[in-house]
């Protein structure tokens, strides 16, 4: 899981940077709507699943498909980082190598730390709040943030 989170956190800025260089005119008018829609759909599904009574439909972080979906969903906002990198002097792919490695390594270690904290304190937290509910709200919040930054900025 940590590898996937680090990988996607490093990959998304590269995709954002590349998109600006090659597809800027094609997607700039609606890219924020795509990001918002993707994050909102995943967030709503997580919120809905948090209220489901059958445990078999709940989020299972051990599934590779779940890990890929989470890694992708939580790194969508990193596309904007890549776009901003393109606008702030990162003119060639070579200039991105070190920042992307740092982003990936830091995300990797924070994922490991979060997993260890979850193992240690996860049951206590889950008794007080619904983690799926909180995660869904956070994803929708990130989507709203991306949308507002583009509409108001």
Whole-number Å distance between alpha carbons of 47 and 133: 5
Has residue 25 been placed in a domain? no
Query: 118 lies in a domain?
Result: yes
Question: Which parts of the chain have pLDDT scores under 70?
Answer: 24, 27-28, 54-59, 87
Q: Is residue 87 assigned to a domain? A: yes
Confidence at residue 117, expressed as pLDDT on a 0 to 100 scale: 92
Listed residue (66, 37, 62, 33) closest to 49, CA to CA: 66
Question: What's the Rg (C-alpha) of the chain?
Answer: 17
- Give the model's pLDDT for residue 55: 55
For 73, residues 6+ apart whose C-beta sits below 8 A from its C-beta are 38, 39, 42, 139
Asked if the structure places residue 140 within a domain, the reply is: yes
Count up the domains in the chain and report the number: 1
CA distance 51 to 125: 17
Provide the residue range defining the domain that includes 14: 2-18+30-152
User: What residue spans of 28-63 are helical by DSSP H?
Assistant: 31-50
Residue 78 domain flag: yes
The pLDDT value given to residue 34: 76
CA atoms of 57 and 143, how far apart (whole Å): 24
Distance (Å, whole) CA 10 – CA 100: 5
Residue 24 lies in a domain: no
Residue 41 lies in a domain: yes
Look at the block and give the residue holding tokens 């590269």: 14
């Amino acid at each position: 899981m940590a590898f996937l989170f680090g990988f996607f956190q490093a990959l998304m800025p590269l995709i954002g940077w590349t998109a600006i260089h090659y597809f800027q005119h094609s997607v700039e008018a609606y890219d924020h709507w795509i990001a918002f829609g993707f994050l909102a759909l995943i967030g709503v599904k997580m919120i809905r699943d948090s209220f489901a009574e059958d445990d078999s439909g709940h989020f299972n972080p051990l599934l590779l498909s779940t890990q890929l979906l989470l890694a992708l969903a939580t790194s969508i906002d990193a596309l904007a980082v890549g776009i901003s990198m393109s606008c702030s002097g990162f003119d060639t792919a070579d200039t991105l190598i070190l920042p992307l490695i740092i982003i990936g390594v830091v995300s990797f270690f924070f994922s490991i730390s979060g997993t260890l904290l979850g193992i240690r304190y996860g049951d206590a937290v889950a008794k007080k709040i619904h983690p799926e509910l909180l995660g869904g709200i956070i994803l929708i919040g990130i989507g709203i943030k991306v949308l507002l930054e583009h509409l108001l900025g």
